[in-house]
């Protein structure tokens, strides 16, 4: 059996665990714990180690890992990223500074993303999503980085499939 892995990362509460639910063929393993800091205002629990789902193919299983969102669990990120096939970066359009959020994850995973590829899914785009996506594209262009950016609802399997297909296209042709 071959083993491959994909990594979903982004800020706490952005929808990583939900995204893994949408992509995984089996109910994902989650490592949630009660929130203790300012995050408790927006959600009751948060991932403290990693979430883990599986996509079954004929003769292989692709593992999908979600990193813990809170920066205090940053030490876990490299462990999860090592050997990943590609990265899905989720950005919450309703947060104060989505560009700064993206920058954190692009910087942290840079060495891994440069040797693979990434796609950026923007969640909670109901109100100002269009402008947020435009701002993120402008930021990437300044940095001479070229990754797909699209609005996604992590609960929607079709959105997540489209995100996954974009990542696969970037891995194969980008």
Partner 1 sequence: MNRTIQLHGFSKNDEMVFTSLLSLLSNKTQYQWDVVQNRAAEVVVIDVDNESDTEVIRNFERDGCKVITYGQPGLIDSTLQLNKPMRAAAILRCLAEVSTNVAVDKPNKPRENEVLSVPSQQPQHNIPVSTPIPTGVSVSYRLKRWPDPSILKATPGATRICAIMLKQVLSAEEIAESAGLALSSVREFIGNCDQKGYLDIKQRVSQIRTPPAPKSRSNPILAKLRLKFGARV
Single residue of 1, 2, 75, 115 touching partner 1 by CB under 8 A: 2
Helical H runs in the chain? 16-23, 75-81, 98-108, 110-115, 129-142, 157-173
> Distance of alpha carbon 132 from its chain centroid, rounded?
17
* Segment contacting partner 1 by CB under 8 A, of 28-36, 52-60, 66-74, 101-109: 52-60
Q: Alpha-carbon distance 93 to 14, whole Å?
A: 9
Q: How far is the CB of 120 from partner 1 (least distance, A)?
A: 9
In sequence order, the β-bridge partners of residue 47 are 32
- Contact between 146 and partner 1 per CB under 8 A: yes
Burial class of residue 125, CB neighbours in 10 A (0-12, 13-18, 19+): buried
Q: Which of 41, 44, 58, 107 binds partner 1 (CB under 8 A)?
A: 58
For 77, phi and psi rounded to 5 degrees?
A: -60, -50
Stretch of residues binding partner 1 (CB under 8 A), selected from 11-19, 76-84, 95-103, 161-169: 161-169
Closer by beta carbon to partner 1, 48 or else 145: 145
Q: Determine, following the binding rule CB under 8 A, whether residue 63 of this chain makes contact with partner 1.
A: no
> Ramachandran region of residue 124, left (φ > 0), alpha (ψ -120 to 50) or beta?
left
Using rule CB under 8 A, residue 1 touches partner 1: no
Minimum CB distance to partner 1 smaller for 10 or for 121: 121
Angle of helix 157-173 relative to helix 16-23, nearest 10 degrees, comes to 80
Binding mask 103-142 for partner 1 (x = CB under 8 A): ----------------------------------x-----
Residues of this chain that interact with partner 1 (CB under 8 A) are: 2, 4, 55, 57-58, 60, 62, 137, 146-150, 161-162, 164-166, 168-174
């Amino acid at each position: 059996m071959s083993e491959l892995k994909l990594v979903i990362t982004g800020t706490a509460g952005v929808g990583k665990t939900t995204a893994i639910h949408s992509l995984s063929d089996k109910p994902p393993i989650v490592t949630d714990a009660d929130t203790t800091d300012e995050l408790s205002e927006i959600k009751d629990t948060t991932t403290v180690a990693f979430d883990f789902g599986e996509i079954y193919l004929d003769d292989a299983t692709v593992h999908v890992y979600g990193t813990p969102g809170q920066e205090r669990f940053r030490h876990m990120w490299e462990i999860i990223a090592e050997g990943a096939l590609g990265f899905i970066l989720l950005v919450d359009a309703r947060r104060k500074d989505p560009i700064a959020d993206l920058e954190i994850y692009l910087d942290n995973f840079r060495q891994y993303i440069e040797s693979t590829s990434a796609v950026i899914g923007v969640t909670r785009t109901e109100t100002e999503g269009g402008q947020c996506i435009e701002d993120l594209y402008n930021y990437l262009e300044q940095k001479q980085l070229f990754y797909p950016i699209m609005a996604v609802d992590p609960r929607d399997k079709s959105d997540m499939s489209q995100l996954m297909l974009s990542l696969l296209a970037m891995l194969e042709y980008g």
